[in-house]
Every structure is written in structure tokens, then in C-alpha cells.
Amino acid sequence: MKRVLFLIIVLACVTRVYGQDEQEKIRNVIMSAYVEGIHNHGEATEIDKGFHPSFVLPGIGADSSTVTLLPIYTWKEIVRASKEKAMGVKPPRTDCRFISIDVTGTAAVAKIELWRGEKLIFTDYLTLYKFREGWRIVGKVYYRH
């Protein structure tokens, strides 16, 4: 009985550490590719590492009855053009607060809040898959505050 209890405790600890490690990897991808890459006009290489090429951002249309689709390559072009337009002037910094990360095997969902100063600007729900090269963002829905 003691051995069974010991094995259960060890398995619980390993599972918890594995889950925390995966959550940390997901945080790193979101911070480098999405928060720094997209919102804070970081490097395109970081965006490419963190977003899967098939990523498409659905957005609710102005009439609240249609959905618009923004592929990652178009979003990257918008970021690049915005960065060029700023000509060295840094945009207001966007900061991220992680609300939750739920991981099941090779699938994950992260709920985050994006802030500029004291103002909450977005609540995002990012979906990720774990590929051979690591976690990558494959989808997102959001609410603009």
C-alpha cells in the first residue's frame, strides 16, 4: 500500500511539473511572438517562430453579424508597415497579464489581457498546438475593450 501511495504521489508531482513547464513554454511563445512581435513591433522572425503559417484571425464585422478573416501574413505586413511609419518612434508599450493557461496533451488555450498603461485594451483567447518544433499559436478570438 505504501508503494502504491508513493507512486501516485510521484506521478502527481511529475504531471504537475510537466504541466508547469509546458505553461512556461506557452507563455514564452505568446510573449515573444504575439506581445513583443505583433503589439510592440518586434522582429518578424519572432512572429514566424510563434505563429503557425495557417493562423487566421477571425474578427467580428462592424455589423456584428459577419466575420472577417485576417491571415498571419497580412497581419505581419500591417505590423511591418506600422513599424516603418513610426520611423524609430516606439508605440505605447503593450503589456500582458496571463489569466489562465489550460493544456491538454498537445492542445492549449490561453486567456490573456493586454494593457497599455492603466487601460485594458483587449481580452484574448489564444489557441495553440504543440508541433515538433514547439508550441505555436494557431488561432485567436478577442474582445476589444
CATH of the domain at 30: 3.10.450.50
What domain range is 111 assigned to? 2-144
Reported as a single tens digit per residue, the pLDDT across 10-51 is 444 444 544 579 999 999 999 999 999 999 988 889 999 999
Reported as a single tens digit per residue, the pLDDT across 79-94 is 888 888 877 677 789 9
Q: Please, which residues have CB within 8 angstroms of residue 21's CB and are 6 or more apart in sequence?
A: none
Domain count, the chain: 1
The answer to whether 37 and 44 have CB atoms below 8 angstroms apart is yes
Which of the four pLDDT bands, split at 50, 70 and 90, describes residue 9?
Answer: low
